[in-house]
């Protein structure tokens, strides 16, 4: 256990320096944020290393890589600093009606199609001086762009978060089939044989055709024919209206497409795991009044949009 003498060596400035280094992974950028010269930050890091008897950060190329000890203590330090900030700088209640500025949200295009319109409409009612900015976001770069301040939060299927991020569950997104009955004369429910034997259109940002569907079909002794692959879900409706083909899409966007374009949806004839859609935001924004209001607004809008579309899932309130 750490003794009292060691604890007295660790003051608030050292913890703040550690927190910023965890976020920036670069001494010069961290020193600039702290309004501190690089020699001063290096000295603070040296004191913290001596107090904790750990390197904490090792140099990799031009950046810093945290050690396992640094990663293990980072969440507790972030929580402590957030608690201190809340205690000494209580924030006034956020007033959306009088606020002017931007709200920025990162979403992949299937979720954008389901939620962006209703979110913009509700924001116009509650905060007429605000503007909603939608940012195209993929899970592979969501964390980096969040740290760069590109958006307030991201809604996607995210990887394991960093210690200074919070990943809150929203809903598990199942997949459904969608097609044009005028082109593909099939009646729901589809049999596995019908599903495997028709032409398929897939969606892939990188142009890859093989997915978990092909793995599941292979296990059942079937192979499908992919006749086209598009980079975004927005291209699917016109493709399906033009040819006798079927697509497998997330339920939220599939129901929107069916309503807007007169397409038919039905359940998949084989089981597929649902994708966990989550909200990713910075730990330092957890108590920010404006950011918290925006997150809660999204939860309300998304919950109503899913219910109105007929989706069988509901939004978790943990993210608020």
Task: Residue 127: give its domain's CATH number.
Answer: 3.40.190.10
Is there a single domain that holds both residue 167 and residue 182?
no
Q: Do 130 and 78 fall within a single domain?
A: no
Tell me which residue range forms the domain holding 135.
102-173+275-309
**125-161 burial: b if 16+ Cβ within 10 Å, else e:** eebeebebebeebeeeebbebbeeebbbbbbbebeeb
Considering the domain architecture, whether residues 42 and 115 belong to the same structural domain is answered as no
Co-location of 169 and 279 in the same domain = yes
Structural domain contains residue 319: no
Q: Under DSSP, is residue 153 helix (H, G, I), strand (E, B) or coil?
A: strand
* 165 in the same domain as 283: yes
* Residue 317, domain member (yes or no): no
**Mode of pairing for the β-strands spanning 130-136 and 101-107:** parallel
Of 236, 297, 25, 31, the residue nearest 113 (C-alpha): 236
Is 108 exposed, middle or buried (CB count within 10 Å of its CB: 0-12, 13-18, 19+)?
A: buried
48 with 163, same domain: the answer is no
Choose one of 66, 88, 110: the last residue of a domain.
88
95 belongs to a structural domain: no
Q: Which two tokens stand for residue 176?
A: 């459904």
For 16: left if phi > 0, alpha if psi spans -120 to 50, otherwise beta; the answer is alpha
Instruction: Write down the pLDDT at residue 1.
Output: 46
Asked whether residue 297 falls in the same domain as residue 154, the answer is yes
Paired tokens of 250: 């997330």
Q: Which of 40, 65, 88 is the last residue of a domain?
A: 88
What is the rounded CA–CA span in Å between residue 22 and residue 41? 13
Last residue of a domain, one of 64, 88, 112: 88
What percent of the chain has pLDDT above 70?
A: 93
Residue 230 falls in which region: left (phi positive, over 0), alpha (psi -120 to 50) or beta: beta
Tally of domains in the chain? 3
What percent of the chain has a predicted confidence (pLDDT) above 90? 49
Q: Does 288 map to a domain? A: yes
Task: Check residue 91 and give its pLDDT.
Answer: 62
Residues 179, 259 within the same domain? yes
User: Do the domain assignments include residue 93?
Assistant: no
Look up the CATH number of the domain holding residue 27: 1.10.10.10
pTM above 0.75, yes or no: no
Q: SS3 helix, strand, coil % of the chain, rounded to 5?
A: 45, 20, 35
Domain-located, residue 142? yes
Assess whether 22 and 76 both reside in one domain: yes
State the pLDDT confidence band at 201, using cuts at 50, 70 and 90: very high
Q: Mean pLDDT check: name the lowest of 46-50, 210-214, 291-295.
A: 210-214
Task: Work out the pLDDT band at 320, boundaries 50, 70, 90.
Answer: low
| 103/294 Cα distance (integer angstroms) | 8
β-sheet bridge partners, residue 57? 66
Is 219 domain-assigned? Answer: yes
Same domain, 190 and 223: yes
Q: Is residue 121 part of a domain?
A: yes
Check residue 208 and give its pLDDT: 63
Cα dist. 221→66, 82, 193, 216 in Å? 47, 54, 10, 9
C-alpha 83/C-alpha 273 separation (Å) is: 38
3-class state of residue 242 by DSSP: helix
3-state secondary structure of 92: coil
Tokens at 178, concatenated = 């969608």
Q: Are 262 and 187 in a shared domain?
A: yes
Task: Please write the tens of the pLDDT for every residue from 79-110.
Answer: 888 888 777 766 678 999 999 999 999 998 88
The answer on pLDDT for 248 being more than 80 is: yes
């Amino acid at each position: 256990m750490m003794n009292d003498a060691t604890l007295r060596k660790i003051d608030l400035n050292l913890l703040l320096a550690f927190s910023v280094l965890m976020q920036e992974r670069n001494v010069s950028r961290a020193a600039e944020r702290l309004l501190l010269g690089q020699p001063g930050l290096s000295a603070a890091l040296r004191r913290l290393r001596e107090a904790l008897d750990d390197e904490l950060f090792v140099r990799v190329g031009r950046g810093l890589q945290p050690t396992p000890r640094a990663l293990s203590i980072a969440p507790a330090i972030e929580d402590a600093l957030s608690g201190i900030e809340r205690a000494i700088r209580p924030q006034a209640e956020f007033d959306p009606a009088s606020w002017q500025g931007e709200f920025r949200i990162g979403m992949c295009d299937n979720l954008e199609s389901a939620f962006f319109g209703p979110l913009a409409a509700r924001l116009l009612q509650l905060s007429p001086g605000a503007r909603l900015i939608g940012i195209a976001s993929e899970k592979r770069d969501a964390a980096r762009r969040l740290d760069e301040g590109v958006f307030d939060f991201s809604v996607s299927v995210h990887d394991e978060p960093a210690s200074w991020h919070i990943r809150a569950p929203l809903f598990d997104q199942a997949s459904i089939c969608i097609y044009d009955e005028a082109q593909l004369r099939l009646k729901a429910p589809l049999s596995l044989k019908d599903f495997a034997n028709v032409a398929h259109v897939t969606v892939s940002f990188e142009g890859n055709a093989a997915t978990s569907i092909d793995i599941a079909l292979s296990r059942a002794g079937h192979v499908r024919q992919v006749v086209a692959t598009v980079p975004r879900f927005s291209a699917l409706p016109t493709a399906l209206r033009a040819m006798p083909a079927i697509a497998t899409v997330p339920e939220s966007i599939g129901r929107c497409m069916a309503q807007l374009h007169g397409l038919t949806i039905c359940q998949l004839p084989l089981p597929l795991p649902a994708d966990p859609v989550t909200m990713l935001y910075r730990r330092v924004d957890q108590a920010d009044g404006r950011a918290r209001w925006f997150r809660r607004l999204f939860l309300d809008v998304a919950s109503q949009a899913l219910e109105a579309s007929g989706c069988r899932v509901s939004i978790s309130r943990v993210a608020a």
